Amino acid sequence: MNGAAPLFRMEGISKRYGGVRALEKADLTVAAGSIHAILGENGAGKSTLIKVMAGVVAPDEGSMTLDGREVTFASPAAANQAGIVCIFQELSLIPELSVADNIVISDPPKRFGMIDRKAQRRLAEQALARAGAADIHPLALIKDLPLSRRQMVEIAKALARKPRILILDEATSALTAADVAKVFEVLKRLRQEGLALLYISHRMNEISELADQCTVFRNGRNVASYRAGSKSDNEVVELMIGREYSHIFPPKPTRPQTLSAPVLDARNLSWSDRLDNISLSVAAGEVVGLGGLDGQGQRELLLAFFGVLRGLSGQILVDGKPVSIASPAAASDDRIGMALIPEDRKTEGLMLPMTVRENLSFAALDRLSKAGVIDRAAEQRLIDDMVELLAIKTAGLDIPVGALSGGNQQKVVIAKWLMRQPRIILLNDPTRGIDVGTKQELYQLMRKLADAGAAILFYSTDYDELIGCCDRVLVLYDGAIKRELVGADITEHALIASALNIHGGSERAEQGEGA
């Protein structure tokens, strides 16, 4: 099958958004029965490329051929018809409809012109089973499911459309490790069934496990195509960022034995059934990681500190003094000086239609105002500092944040909170879906802030990050801290073993060793 003519080919595809060139004469060839990984930084053109393939945007020039015949897609529906189905990074599920409704949404089974609910239910159950997510009830509403379950529904929905080419755009970023393993099995089976799969991910170990063929994109064009496994990770990253790739992670300082007094303390925090008797402390200048499988209470813990949860029991101390943090406003008040960098920048961190300037100054307006009037000059100074500190790439401060790339949006979120010069910084998986270059900048920033005396609590689903960035890592399981890893003990093996609440090895640990 591999020697046959390519199933799908894109030639000379270009696309501009205003003055920005998203794609510049890009080519891609996809073969049936293979998994093709697309690599590249955010803004390299991957998203635009698949949007063109999936009929979401029309290219300015270039041609696409499917089975040797030239095709154009006027809408996502047209691309679906031709057998190209995309699982988008931004979930395409409809929150108020049920799982079954969503799975068959593009082409529901009909009897006498009306939707046949029994057939729909059957199709949904089959699709869920095929995606390895039979535990999801077809009648549940999407809005009641957690993010990782929704992602599985998204995959089931794509499979129900009987695709010939399946595009996965960061489709595993929200999944738990157990789900990732299931999805991989599904993908390998689909490859065997002769589908062409396009796989876009920032996780190198996933790519090295799955892909047959890799194509690297940079600045809107494909810069290299190679057989999977024929290049080292370092070579690949160099291709992606187009420059010499040194160490991603900044060096950790060697700690003196006697740390400064803890800035943030938690004693016996419990909340509902999600947090179970958690005690921890973070000192000034320290980066403390929160590890473990996704959804073990890490997010809730950060929200608890930030005054979002009601009915929290236990005690929070700042500078050794008990405080009661009743709301995010109280948490970010200067007396406590806390900042939370949220995970979902679109809903929690930014007001997308508003300008960069407005978004940046929101969190610090009270500091910038005198008698209720905003000091424009002070605002400008502070914003300039932040844009420079974080190297935010923007065409101007007065364009909507929504127009920036994902990585730059995330930088704006961070800058927004840094405007208050917080002493305690909580980070909730801040690098999800962000390119390597931006990640690297964020790691360095985090260390810089710690060196300047901030206490940092950092939740990440990426083990490499925890290993590379943290002085200590607390591993959560089922809402409780199961293990504390310090210094050289923070290894991938230890993290995974304690995340699974076992003390031996694990499959994922072996996979991870290549990364």
Partner 1 sequence: MKDWRYWLAEQRGTLLAFAIFIVMFAIYSGNHPAGFTANVVQTAANKGVLLAFVAMAQTLVVITAGIDLSVGMIFTLTNCMASWLVIGTGLETAFGLVAVLGTGLVCGAINGAIVIYGRLQPIVATIATGAVYFGLALLLRPVPGGSVNEDVADFLTGRFFGVVPASLMALFVVVLVVWVPFRRSELGRAAYAAGSSETAAYMSGVPIRRGKFLAYTLAGLLAAIGGLFLTFFTYTGEAAYASGNAYTLFSIAAVVLGGVSLFGGKGSAIGAIFGALAFRTIGDLLFVFDFDPLWQPLFQGIILLIAVSLGAFALFRVRNRLEWFL
Binding mask 27-66 for partner 1 (x = CB under 8 A): -----------------------------x----------
Tell me the closest approach of the beta carbon of residue 177 to partner 1, in angstroms.
24
Cβ of residue 250: shortest distance to partner 1, in angstroms? 32
Close Cβ partners of 377 (under 8 Å, ≥ 6 residues apart): none
As a whole number of angstroms, the distance between CA 27 and CA 50 comes to: 12
Name which of residues 155 to 184 contact partner 1 (CB under 8 A): 157
Q: Beta 338-341 vs 321-323: how paired, if at all?
A: unpaired
Looking at 25, 137, 252, 493, which residue binds partner 1 (CB under 8 A)?
Answer: 137
Instruction: Evaluate whether 166 touches 87 at the Cβ level (below 8 Å).
Output: yes
d(CA 35, CA 214): 9
State in angstroms the smallest separation of the CB of 34 from partner 1.
26
Closest approach, Cβ 345 to partner 1, in A, equals 14
Nearest-5° angle of CA 33, CA 36, CA 39?
175
Q: Of 390, 388, 358, give the one whose Cα is nearest residue 374.
A: 358
**Closest approach of Cβ 272 to partner 1, in Å?**
6
Phi, psi for residue 352 in degrees, rounded to 5: -55, -40
Stretch that binds partner 1, among 18-26, 40-48, 69-77, 434-442 (CB under 8 A): 69-77
Name residue 451's amino acid.
D
Q: What is the distance between the alpha carbons of residues 206 and 285, in angstroms, rounded to a whole number? A: 33
Cβ contacts of residue 142 below 8 Å, gap of 6+? Answer: 93, 94, 95, 96, 97, 98, 99, 102, 150, 153
Q: What is the closest distance, in whole angstroms, from the C-beta atom of residue 75 to partner 1 in the complex?
A: 7
What is the smallest separation between the CB atom of 282 and partner 1, expressed in angstroms?
23
Q: 81: helix, coil or strand?
A: helix
Tell me which H or E stretch contains 477.
Answer: strand 472-477
Backbone angles phi, psi at 180, to 5 degrees: -60, -45
**Site map for partner 1, 75-114, x if CB under 8 A?**
xxx--x-------x-xxxxxxxxx--xx--xx-x-x--xx
HEC string for 246-262: CCCCCCCCCCCCCCCCE
The nearest distance, CB 102 to partner 1, in angstroms, is 8
Nearer to partner 1, 137 or 255 (CB): 137
Question: Which residue, 1 or 112, is less far from partner 1 as judged by CB?
Answer: 112
Torsion-angle region of 288 (φ positive above 0: left; ψ -120 to 50: alpha; else: beta)? beta
Distance CA 53, CA 57 (A): 8
Minimum CB separation from partner 1 for residue 428, in Å? 11
Of the two residues 121 and 508, which places its CB atom closer to partner 1 in the complex?
Answer: 121
Number of residues that bind partner 1 (CB under 8 A): 39
Kindly state the smallest distance separating residue 29's Cβ from partner 1, in Å. Answer: 25
Rounded Cα distance between 496 and 503, Å, is 9
> Which x/- pattern, by CB under 8 A, does the window 472-501 give for partner 1?
------------------------------
Asked if residues 138 and 125 have their Cβ atoms less than 8 Å apart, the reply is yes
Among 134-142, 349-357, 370-378, 440-448, the segment contacting partner 1 (CB under 8 A):
134-142
Complex with partner 1: residue 103 or 263, whichever CB lies closer: 103
Stretch that binds partner 1, among 62-70, 72-80, 442-450, 493-501 (CB under 8 A): 72-80
Of 160 and 500, CB closest to partner 1: 160
Taking the C-alpha atoms of residue 339 and residue 363, their distance in angstroms, rounded to an integer, is 10
Interface with partner 1 includes 245 (CB under 8 A)? no
Q: Which is nearer to partner 1, 97 or 397 (CB)?
A: 97
Report which DSSP code applies to 348: I
Yes or no: say if 213 and 36 are a contact pair by the CB < 8 Å rule: yes
- Is the Cβ of residue 91 or residue 228 nearer to partner 1 in the bound state? 91
Identify which of residues 426 and 454 has a Cβ nearer to partner 1 in the complex.
426
Question: Among residue numbers 345 through 384, which ones bind partner 1 (CB under 8 A)?
Answer: 347-348
Q: Shortest Cβ distance from residue 283 to partner 1 (Å)?
A: 28
Least distance CB 80 / partner 1 (angstroms): 5
- Indicate the DSSP class of residue 404: S
- Amino acid at position 71, single letter: V
Site for partner 1 in 284-343 (CB under 8 A): 300, 303, 308-311
- 343 vs 492, which CB is nearer to partner 1? 343
Q: Which residues contact 247 (CB under 8 A, 6 or more apart)?
A: none
Residues that bind partner 1 (CB under 8 A): 56, 75-77, 80, 88, 90-98, 101-102, 105-106, 108, 110, 113-115, 117, 137, 139-141, 157, 272, 300, 303, 308-311, 347-348
